[in-house]
């Protein structure tokens, strides 16, 4: 009952407010702002939005004017809103997507009888991405990682349509910089730029950093590719090298390992332990265990099969919004496995395959040589045949002559 009454009174209040606002709005027409524009000061996506006040019939001297700005945040896929008294605002946009901005006018003060009034409509601006550069020439998989909090590297892959004469450039910007700065030290691979090494000039943590890779070629400019990241969310810890595994009392397995050597604080890591267990019938079952400790005790399993473990780490939510898995540690098994039976890594599979390929090629090669030799001699085959038959008959005679003797001299053909 009480709830229904509260609900009803809420509706009445809402109706009253609406009535009051429309009453005021009837007399006072609040117009939305005009001349909205978006300006790119070369900060790789941190754009400045400006607008001006529309001329109104209201006597503004008794008014305080504010603006309600909404802009589409493509990173979060939603509209963000701010209220400001200024006629400009800077926000982060993804340069590769549409830029959508809406602004309303808000009035308050004696002119509105101290009630906040919002313009009924907004002024909107939608700006398409510039679309400069040759299509499909933007770099792929652009990513920046802070390896073990020691090495800061950005890397990318060339798109297939990149002209051969292309040269890539990486630029970055964050709020401590006046304008975008080019990469101080490129990473080369196969004679072309494939990344940027920022280790000697690391970028700040907990700050949005805009990275863009653009480029030039004889055929024209390449299409830019941009990302925005905070480096603490892109920490990839080093893989753990040593896993210690032993059987404790009651046959339980005790596993422990060390934090990676380097600058990643141990309390910032959580671990995933992967247990692969060989069943009695030879099937392998996998199990993942998550832990904040660097040790784990595993109850003995009814199966007597082998247990193998490997671990990897990731930053926890207290230290970063996002984590990136480290590479896996080497495996540790109990009972200790013969190397032959460990699960092969892709690299290890390659060795037997290479050997097999070598053997097959050798066989094919010998077959070819044999065939070639045969083809060459086939012309003089008759000669050879007569030679062979002559030899054979000599041999035959020789063998007959040897019969009955203890030793016989070797026959060389
Ligand atoms: C606005 O109001 C002020 C003070 O009430 C007055 O002096 C001024 O002349 C008015 N301006 C206009 C354009 O009506
Ligand atoms: C302004 O609001 C007050 C109450 O908040 C009311 O008494 C007064 O009549 C209003 N004046 C006008 C001009 O609407
Ligand atoms: C990046 O630069 C640092 C310091 O100059 C160097 O130790 C490291 O090997 C470089 N890494 C790559 C991938 O070039
Ligand atoms: C690449 O981006 C930088 C920084 O915005 C700019 O100064 C440069 O002119 C661009 N180069 C090309 C070829 O677009």
300 with 323, same domain: the answer is: yes
159 with 89, same domain: the answer is: no
**Structural domain contains residue 82:** yes
Question: What is the rounded average pLDDT of the residues 358-364?
Answer: 70
212 with 250, same domain: the answer is: no
60 with 111, same domain: the answer is: yes
- Give the residue from 235, 267, 286 where a domain finishes: 235
Query: In this model, does residue 183 exceed pLDDT 90?
Result: yes
Give the pLDDT score at 223. 92
49 with 110, same domain: the answer is: yes
Mutate to test the pocket of ligand 4, among 162, 168, 169 (most ligand atoms within 8 A of CB): 169
**Structural domain contains residue 85:** yes
Q: Is the CB of 59 under 6 A from ligand 1?
A: yes
Give the pLDDT score at 375. 66
Tell me how far apart the alpha carbons of residues 151 and 42 are, in angstroms, rounded to a whole number.
27
As beta bridge partners, residue 332 has 309
Question: What is the rounded average pLDDT of the residues 169-181?
Answer: 95
231 with 242, same domain: the answer is: no
Question: What is the rounded average pLDDT of the residues 76-89?
Answer: 94
Ligand 1 midpoint to CA 56 (Å) = 13
Ligand 4 midpoint to CA 180 (Å) = 9
Give the pLDDT score at 122. 94
User: For residue 110, what are the domain limits?
Assistant: 25-127
Total domain count, the chain: 3
Question: What is the rounded average pLDDT of the residues 393-413?
Answer: 41
Give the pLDDT score at 58. 72
Please tell me whether the overall predicted TM-score, pTM, comes out greater than 0.95 for this model: no
Which H/E stretch holds residue 209? strand 209-217
**Structural domain contains residue 300:** yes
228 with 256, same domain: the answer is: no
Which of 266, 276, 286, 269 minimizes the C-alpha distance to 331? 276
207 with 277, same domain: the answer is: no
Tell me how far apart the alpha carbons of residues 215 and 133 are, in angstroms, rounded to a whole number.
9
Ligand 1 midpoint to CA 61 (Å) = 7
- Tracing tokens 């006072």 back to the chain, one arrives at 28
CA 402 to chain centre: 81
**At a CB cut-off of 8 Å and minimum separation 6, what does 11 contact?**
none
**Structural domain contains residue 245:** yes
- From 17-26, 88-97, 129-138, 177-186, the region with the lowest mean pLDDT: 17-26
**Structural domain contains residue 196:** yes
Q: Looking at the CA of 28, name the nearest ligand.
A: 2
Ligand 4 midpoint to CA 214 (Å) = 6
- From 5-19, 115-129, 337-351, the region with the lowest mean pLDDT: 5-19
Ligand 3 midpoint to CA 203 (Å) = 15
Query: In this model, does residue 405 exceed pLDDT 50?
Result: no
User: Is the Cβ–Cβ distance between 187 and 153 less than 8 Å?
Assistant: yes
Give the pLDDT score at 320. 93
**Structural domain contains residue 250:** yes
Query: In this model, does residue 399 exceed pLDDT 90?
Result: no
Query: In this model, does residue 54 exceed pLDDT 60?
Result: yes
Give the pLDDT score at 68. 96
- Nearest-CA residue for ligand 3 atom 1 is 197
170 with 120, same domain: the answer is: no
CA end-to-end distance (rounded Å), the chain: 118
Give the pLDDT score at 100. 95
Q: How confident is the model at residue 249 (pLDDT cuts 50, 70, 90)?
A: confident
Backbone angles phi, psi at 10, to 5 degrees: -60, -45
Q: Is the CB of 61 under 6 A from ligand 1?
A: yes
Give the pLDDT score at 114. 87
**Structural domain contains residue 15:** no
**Structural domain contains residue 135:** no
Backbone angles phi, psi at 32, to 5 degrees: -70, 160
83 with 97, same domain: the answer is: yes
Average per-residue pLDDT for the chain: 81
Give the pLDDT score at 371. 72
Q: Is the CB of 225 under 6 A from ligand 4?
A: no
Q: How confident is the model at residue 8 (pLDDT cuts 50, 70, 90)?
A: low
279 with 206, same domain: the answer is: no
Give the pLDDT score at 384. 44
- From 14-23, 59-68, 370-379, the region with the lowest mean pLDDT: 14-23
Question: What is the rounded average pLDDT of the residues 153-174?
Answer: 94
Residue 208: HSE in the Cβ half-sphere, 13 Å Cα cutoff? 14
Q: Is the CB of 57 under 6 A from ligand 1?
A: no
Query: In this model, does residue 152 exceed pLDDT 50?
Result: yes
173 with 227, same domain: the answer is: yes
Which of 144, 258, 159 minimizes the C-alpha distance to 198? 144
Question: What is the rounded average pLDDT of the residues 258-270?
Answer: 91
CATH number of the structural domain spanning residue 144 = 2.60.40.10
Query: In this model, does residue 111 exceed pLDDT 50?
Result: yes
In the structure encoding, which two tokens stand for residue 210, read together? 């805009």
Query: In this model, does residue 230 exceed pLDDT 50?
Result: yes
* Tens digit of each residue's pLDDT (9 = 90 or more) over 310-359: 999 999 999 999 999 999 999 999 887 665 444 445 555 555 556 666 66
- Give the residue from 270, 301, 334 where a domain finishes: 334
Query: In this model, does residue 155 exceed pLDDT 60?
Result: yes
Q: Among residues of the chain, what percentage have pLDDT more than 90?
A: 53
- Give the residue from 181, 210, 235 where a domain finishes: 235
Tell me how far apart the alpha carbons of residues 47 and 92 are, in angstroms, rounded to a whole number.
6
User: What is the maximal distance between C-alpha atoms in the chain?
Assistant: 139
């Amino acid at each position: 009952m009480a709830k229904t009454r509260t609900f009803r009174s809420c509706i009445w209040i809402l109706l009253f407010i609406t009535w009051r606002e429309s009453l005021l709005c009837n007399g006072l027409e609040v117009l939305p702002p005009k001349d909205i524009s978006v300006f790119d000061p070369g900060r790789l996506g941190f754009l400045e939005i400006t607008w001006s006040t529309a001329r109104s019939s209201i006597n503004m001297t008794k008014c305080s004017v504010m603006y309600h700005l909404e802009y589409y945040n493509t990173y979060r896929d939603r509209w963000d809103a701010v209220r400001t008294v200024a006629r400009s605002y800077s926000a982060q946009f993804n340069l590769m997507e549409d830029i959508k901005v809406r602004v309303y006018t808000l009035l308050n003060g004696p002119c509105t009888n101290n009630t906040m009034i919002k313009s009924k409509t907004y002024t909107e601006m939608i700006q398409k991405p510039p679309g400069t550069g040759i299509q499909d020439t933007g770099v792929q998989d652009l990513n920046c990682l802070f390896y073990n909090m020691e090495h800061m590297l950005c890397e990318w892959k060339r798109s297939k349509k990149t002209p051969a004469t292309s040269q890539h450039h990486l630029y970055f910007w964050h709020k401590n910089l006046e304008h975008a700065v080019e990469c101080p030290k490129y990473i080369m691979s196969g004679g072309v730029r494939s990344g940027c090494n920022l280790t000697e000039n690391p970028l700040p943590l907990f700050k949005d950093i805009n990275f863009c890779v653009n480029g030039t070629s004889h055929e024209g400019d390449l299409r830019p590719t941009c990302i925005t990241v905070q480096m603490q969310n892109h920490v990839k810890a080093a893989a753990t090298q040593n896993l210690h595994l032993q059987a404790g009392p009651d046959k339980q397995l005790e596993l422990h390992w060390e934090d990676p050597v380097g600058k990643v604080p141990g309390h910032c890591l959580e671990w995933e332990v992967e247990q692969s267990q060989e069943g009695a019938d030879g099937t392998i079952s996998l199990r993942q265990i998550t832990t904040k400790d660097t040790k784990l005790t595993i109850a003995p399993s009814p199966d007597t099969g082998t247990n193998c473990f490997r671990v990897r780490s990731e930053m926890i939510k207290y230290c970063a919004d996002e984590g990136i898995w480290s590479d896996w540690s080497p495996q540790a098994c109990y009972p200790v496995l013969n190397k032959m039976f460990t699960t092969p890594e892709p690299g290890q599979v390659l060795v037997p395959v290479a050997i097999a390929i070598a053997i097959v090629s050798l066989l094919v090669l010998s077959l070819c040589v044999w065939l070639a030799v045969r083809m060459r001699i086939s012309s003089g085959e008759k000669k050879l045949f007569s030679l062979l038959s002559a030899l054979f008959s000599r041999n035959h005679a020789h063998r007959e002559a040897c019969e009955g003797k203890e030793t016989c001299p070797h026959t060389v053909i």
